[in-house]
Amino acid sequence: MVRYRHSAERRGAMAVFLCIMLVPLLAAVALAVDYGYIMYIQASMQRVADQAALAGVRDLVPNPDGSQDVEAVRATVQDYILMNTDDRFQIDVADIEIGRYDPETIYQSVDLLQTGIFDTVRVHFRRDDTTNQSVSFFLARMFGHDIANVSVTSAAVLQKAQLLPEGSDILPIAIPIDTWNVAQQSVPWTIYGDGQIYDEYGNQLNGNWGTVDIGSASNSNSDIKDQILNGLRQSDLDMLYQYNLISTTDHIDSQAPMWVNGDTGLSAGMKSSVQEVHGHTKLIPIYDVSNGANGGQLDIHIINWGVVEVIDSTWNGGQNSSITVRKAYMFDGDLRPNPDLSNFVEIIDAAYTSPVLVQ
């Protein structure tokens, strides 16, 4: 009888102990389940915010005159979040920040400046009952916790281009640096078949322009036409490397000067290709000096590249043939960026390439 009584007492004590432990055990299970669910929701929101920021920042590429439609950027972000969430979530305009990142602090914090050309979009995506419904718990409701507020932030910037790989959209016509520096954004200027350059008012500008052989020193009209229509070719890179003008067959570094063969004049063989790219943006080489020779002996020293829009062209022979261009901006995902976001010097001015997340 004594042993029976001790055994029953032990079983009773164990039952009481299990009852006492059941509450924290259920709480731990509830916490694990709901915490995992919150982490899943947060990761899903982060993916959507990241892609919305990347989609929006693409729309920041300026018009030729430098204007930017920030309302279109906000609309792109809002539409992306609406269309890519199961519950068609919304985002407040105030939660979409647009500006120019500060290159001096970009690796410490993403500070947005409201001057210059904007290149950054920051998105705050919230589920906190202000814009979108908070996240509901499952098991934690048993312990008085019904909802959780979840928010994520993502920022994307447009990278500045530096390297020209195969496929880069080029116009193999070199412009003198002095002409380039005085040309105003979006103001047309015309290059004529005799090598002269005139502004929109018919005033002659200093310096001459010329077609250049980006590739073989014996580029034919068909080569130049192909480059205008289809961009930089691998064969061009191979030849430049063979001439020791570039350090790799993979790309042209816009910041590495090189001497190339040039020629003044517009060949009638270029007509169809130039006409086909009216309204297109192209990269053109910029040079500082030439060797002063004539004809096929002319060599030009390229020191950088710029972005122009091809506006129009005329083909009346000799000096009466012309191409009208203006400084512009471009986005080309084929271009390679300068990976240092704090470097605003070793870049192709006004040329943007694939955006990148920074927050």
Residues 203 and 306 in one domain: yes
State the pLDDT at residue 277. Answer: 97
Residues 227 and 265 in one domain: yes
The residues near 305 (Cβ < 8 Å, ≥ 6 apart) are 164, 254, 283, 284, 285, 286, 348, 351
Tell which of 159, 184, 215 closes a domain. Answer: 159
Residues 153 and 185 in one domain: no
Q: Is residue 357 part of a domain?
A: no
What are the structure tokens assigned to 216, written together?
A: 């073989």
Note whether 156 and 56 are within 8 A (CB).
yes
Residue with tokens 């500006």: 99
Structural domain including 301 reads 169-331
pTM of the entire predicted model = 0.84
Q: Is residue 14 part of a domain?
A: yes
Instruction: Please choose, from the candidates 353, 339, 286, 341, the residue with its C-alpha nearest in 3D space to the C-alpha of residue 111.
Output: 341
Instruction: Please choose, from the candidates 148, 130, 125, the residue with its C-alpha nearest in 3D space to the C-alpha of residue 33.
Output: 148
Q: How many CB atoms within 10 Å of residue 198? A: 16
**How many domains does the structure of the chain reveal?**
2
Residues 195 and 323 in one domain: yes
Q: Is residue 23 part of a domain?
A: yes
Q: Is residue 103 part of a domain?
A: yes
Q: What is the helix (H) or strand (E) element at residue 180, kind and residue range?
A: helix 177-182
Instruction: Please choose, from the candidates 71, 78, 75, the residue with its C-alpha nearest in 3D space to the C-alpha of residue 49.
Output: 78
DSSP labels for 281-294?
EEEEEEEEEE----
Residues 214 and 129 in one domain: no
Q: For residues 33 and 249, what is the distance between their CA atoms, to the nearest angstrom?
A: 54
Question: In the chain, what are the helix, strand and coil shares in percent, each to the nearest 5?
Answer: 35, 30, 35
The residues near 119 (Cβ < 8 Å, ≥ 6 apart) are 57, 60, 100, 101, 157, 158, 352
Residues 195 and 287 in one domain: yes
Q: How far apart are the first and last CA of the chain?
A: 73
Measured over the CA atoms of residue 141, residue 145, residue 147 and residue 150, the dihedral's sign is negative
Tell me the pLDDT of the chain (359 aa) as tens digits: 445 455 555 555 555 555 555 556 555 555 666 677 788 888 998 999 999 999 999 999 999 888 999 999 999 999 999 999 877 888 999 999 999 999 999 999 999 999 999 999 999 999 888 888 887 765 555 555 667 788 899 999 999 999 999 999 999 998 899 889 988 888 898 888 777 777 677 777 665 677 889 998 877 888 999 999 999 999 999 999 999 999 999 999 999 999 998 877 777 788 999 999 999 999 999 999 888 777 667 888 999 999 999 999 999 987 888 899 999 999 999 999 999 999 989 999 899 999 999 98
What are the structure tokens assigned to 333, written together?
A: 């995902």
Tell which of 113, 133, 159 closes a domain. Answer: 159
Residues 33 and 110 in one domain: yes
Q: Is residue 291 part of a domain?
A: yes
Residues 141 and 198 in one domain: no
Q: For residues 323 and 191, what is the distance between their CA atoms, to the nearest angstrom?
A: 5
Residues 47 and 115 in one domain: yes
Residues 64 and 98 in one domain: yes
At 124, the amino acid letter reads: H
State the pLDDT at residue 124. Answer: 95
Helices 2-58 and 70-83, packing angle to 10 deg: 140
Write phi, then psi, for 243 (nearest 5 degrees): -85, 5
Residues 179 and 120 in one domain: no
Q: Is residue 98 part of a domain?
A: yes
Tell which of 159, 181, 212 closes a domain. Answer: 159
Residues 194 and 272 in one domain: yes
Q: Is residue 252 part of a domain?
A: yes
Q: Is residue 319 part of a domain?
A: yes
